[in-house]
Amino acid sequence: MTQVERQAWDVVVIGAGGAGLRAAIEAREQGMRTAVICKSLFGKAHTVMAEGGIAASMGNVNEGDNWQVHFRDTMRGGKFLNHWRMAELHAREAPDRVWELESWGALFDRTVDGKISQRNFGGHEYPRLAHVGDRTGLELIRTLQQKIVALQQEDEREFGDHEARLKVFQECTVTRVLKEADPAGGPTGAGGSGRVAGVFGYERESGRFFVIEAPSVVLATGGIGKSFKVTSNSWEYTGDGHALALLAGAPLINMEFVQFHPTGMVWPPSVKGILVTESVRGDGGVLRNSDGKRFMFDYVPDVFKDKYAQSEEEGDRWYEDPDNNRRPPELLPRDEVARAINSEVKAGRGSPHGGVFLDVSTRMSAETIKRRLPSMHHQFKELADVDITAEPMEVGPTCHYVMGGVEVDPDTAAATGVLGLFAAGEVAGGMHGSNRLGGNSLSDLLVFGRRAGLYAAQLAANTRPEDRPVVAEADAAAAEAEALLPFSAEDVNATTASGPVENPYTLHQELQQAMNDLVGIIRKHEEMAEALNRLAGLRARARRAGVEGHRQFNPGWHLAIDLRNMLLVSECVARAALERTESRGGHTRDDFPAMDRLWRRVNLVCQVATQPEIDAERPAVHGGGVAPADPGLSGLVGDQAGQIQLERRETPPIRPDLLQLFERDELVKYLTDEELSQ
């Protein structure tokens, strides 16, 4: 066994995006020694890419806005599958989180009277997104980083060590959340019933392993989009936090709900999937098909009919006079727009490269476009040689966001069933129901990042030094052996008893293709069943994934490790999508096209079929021939039955005073008769 460095902190936060940094700031401000671990460079998290803004009902542009309206919009957007308490906390607390950011130095765009400016976005009744041009995520991360540096400077003055109470371990990947030995004599390590004891990971640059012990671990690892071929997501989005939670025994919910953003670039092929921000439509951009028709008027679903304009004239008037007109259907929630674009392309009315046209050039002056949408102007000019001030963009759906995630307690962000584990941001489930509204992620990160940091700190503070959980040597050794498995093939061209050594890149590409083709924007029973078959095959082959070279910055090795996570979360998505026989939000079934009120009462909960154990007895494998054909990496059941078991769980009833925020006519579309009578 190699030397594994050990450290002890009070709170470990995995992830340095908006959720992770906000959690870390809170935990440190509560006085806890807090370690932040991130697999990219500090400041490079996915949050940086966020463009349009942060949704918060500050009412700066329209005084009619308040938290109740935001709550209503969020529940409508999620088709009432959201955890109502999360949606309530989010709507109530988002304005404070934005003002707090400003007090920490964020420079938002302003209204003419000097308030934080707010822009329109799909599904939001009023202009609600606080923004910095179309580079809001960058400002958010810059501000949180600056706050972290300020806290570190305080510690430098007080302790002579700027990392005394807050340290960032950048370019480090966590591969396991470890738990303490079960006092009742049950299994230890990843599974078992014990509480969280710490994390195991490796430094990307050196390949060195480390263990950080802590009674509280916050997952803030973002999403899963890299399991799909066409995606707006960055390389980091391999579903690590989702998988770490599953492997530690914490369930995931709502994994069938994956958001396909309606507008990604479609051309040239090398940039397919890169996001075209919703701000383009929020600021007046219109969608047209190859006949030049504004087709979205044909796609307003019944549940939204009375809230959206029925004619182009009314839609256009809304930009000037929103109080007396209804909004244009280009601003429907994302799931609706994505499906509409998909239908137009399928019907042969698409653009030359398989998308539709998004035009802002006829709606705003070139100066305004460059000022309000500078990144989009630059992106299209540089990547596609298209000048969006003069010509339309070609756009089509791209995998963007996962609504599903770790099941958490809404108030404390504590993961279900694993004491000491917390989750916030995109890795957590429940908040957005079946579909997230644009802008509601950045606010979610801040609201629930703060809460996760607060309650993780409280748990750590309440753990007496003599009661702190300890990571067992055997568990650290087993996690190390697991991480080293891809090096066990001495010759990557060899064939083992169970098949050839596999190239992790090939497996990744096949996985992305399968998810894209078979569990994508429109789903069918046979295709999802086929996806599960392919995933089983890929899982078997992934056990033979082999890499050459050594542990110093070896991307092939990193990917081989990530594959375990991608396969786990992909199976959750496919299994849950197969189970849910209705269409709702980000889950569209060709064979069950309608929304079914009975399904609104159901959350699909994913857990690993057999509680996985790290096989501590297995010898370290480096230098020992090809990877074994046994259950391998995670020790999970590896047959066609898959690794994930699904459970249907009833959604909690929505609090009556919150239901009263809606008209009965609207509730009738979502709630069952039984619920309505209550």
Q: Indicate whether 401 belongs to the interface with ligand FAD (CB under 6 A).
A: yes
Q: Is 153 exposed, middle or buried (0-12, 13-18, 19+ CB in 10 A)?
A: exposed
Q: How far is the CB of 36 from ligand FAD (least distance, A)?
A: 8
Q: Indicate whether 39 belongs to the interface with ligand FAD (CB under 6 A).
A: yes
- Are the CB atoms for 229 and 513 separated by under 8 Å? yes
Q: Indicate whether 441 belongs to the interface with ligand FAD (CB under 6 A).
A: yes
| Contact residues for 664 (Cβ-Cβ < 8 A; gap 6+) | 676
Query: Which among 526, 558, 560 has a CA at the least distance from the CA of 541?
Result: 560
Q: Which residue has the tokens 């009462």?
A: 601
For ligand FAD (CB under 6 A), the number of binding residues is 41
Angstrom CA distances, 337 to 260, 266, 274, 281, 595, stand at: 10, 16, 17, 11, 17
| Angle (nearest 5°) at CA 425 between 41 and 182 | 95
Q: How far is the CB of 154 from ligand FAD (least distance, A)?
A: 23
Q: Which residue has the tokens 């309650």?
A: 455
Report the residue from 166, 197, 276, 442 that binds ligand FAD according to the rule CB under 6 A: 442
Just list the catalytic residues: 334
Q: Indicate whether 133 belongs to the interface with ligand FAD (CB under 6 A).
A: no
Q: Which residue has the tokens 């026989």?
A: 581
- Are the CB atoms for 528 and 574 separated by under 8 Å? yes
Report the residue from 190, 369, 445, 576 that binds ligand FAD according to the rule CB under 6 A: 445
List the beta bridge partners of residue 200.
176, 211
Report the residue from 86, 116, 132, 174 that binds ligand FAD according to the rule CB under 6 A: 174
Binding mask 206-245 for ligand FAD (x = CB under 6 A): --------------xxx---------xx--x---x-----
Q: How far is the CB of 137 from ligand FAD (least distance, A)?
A: 6
Task: For ligand FAD, give the closer residue by CB, 338 or 501.
Answer: 338
Report the residue from 11, 12, 19, 250 that binds ligand FAD according to the rule CB under 6 A: 19
Report the residue from 122, 137, 350, 420 that binds ligand FAD according to the rule CB under 6 A: 137
Q: Which stretch binds ligand FAD (CB under 6 A): 11-19, 321-329, 539-547, 584-592?
A: 11-19
Q: Which stretch binds ligand FAD (CB under 6 A): 39-47, 407-415, 453-461, 501-509?
A: 39-47
Q: Which stretch binds ligand FAD (CB under 6 A): 18-26, 491-499, 503-511, 574-582?
A: 18-26
CA count, 13 A, side-chain hemisphere, 72? 17
Q: Compute how many other C-beta atoms are within 10 angstroms of the C-beta atom of residue 520.
A: 21
* Cα Rg of the chain (Å, integer): 24
- Are the CB atoms for 14 and 218 separated by under 8 Å? yes
Residues in the chain: 678
Query: Which among 495, 628, 503, 621 has a CA at the least distance from the CA of 555?
Result: 503
Task: For ligand FAD, give the closer residue by CB, 69 or 220.
Answer: 220
E-strand ranges in 542-581 read: none
- Are the CB atoms for 123 and 77 separated by under 8 Å? yes
Report the residue from 12, 32, 35, 38 that binds ligand FAD according to the rule CB under 6 A: 38
Q: Indicate whether 429 belongs to the interface with ligand FAD (CB under 6 A).
A: no
Q: How far is the CB of 105 from ligand FAD (least distance, A)?
A: 19
Q: Which stretch binds ligand FAD (CB under 6 A): 45-53, 548-556, 571-579, 601-609?
A: 45-53
Task: For ligand FAD, give the closer residue by CB, 296 or 437.
Answer: 437
Q: Indicate whether 120 belongs to the interface with ligand FAD (CB under 6 A).
A: no
Task: For ligand FAD, give the closer residue by CB, 174 or 341.
Answer: 174
| Contact residues for 276 (Cβ-Cβ < 8 A; gap 6+) | 263, 264, 265, 358, 376, 379, 393, 395
Cα gap 241→120, rounded to integer Å: 32
Q: Which stretch binds ligand FAD (CB under 6 A): 31-39, 351-359, 618-626, 636-644?
A: 31-39
Report the residue from 11, 12, 13, 14 that binds ligand FAD according to the rule CB under 6 A: 14
Residues that bind ligand FAD (CB under 6 A): 14-20, 37-40, 45-47, 49-53, 136-137, 173-174, 220-222, 232-233, 236, 240, 275, 401, 425-427, 438-442, 445
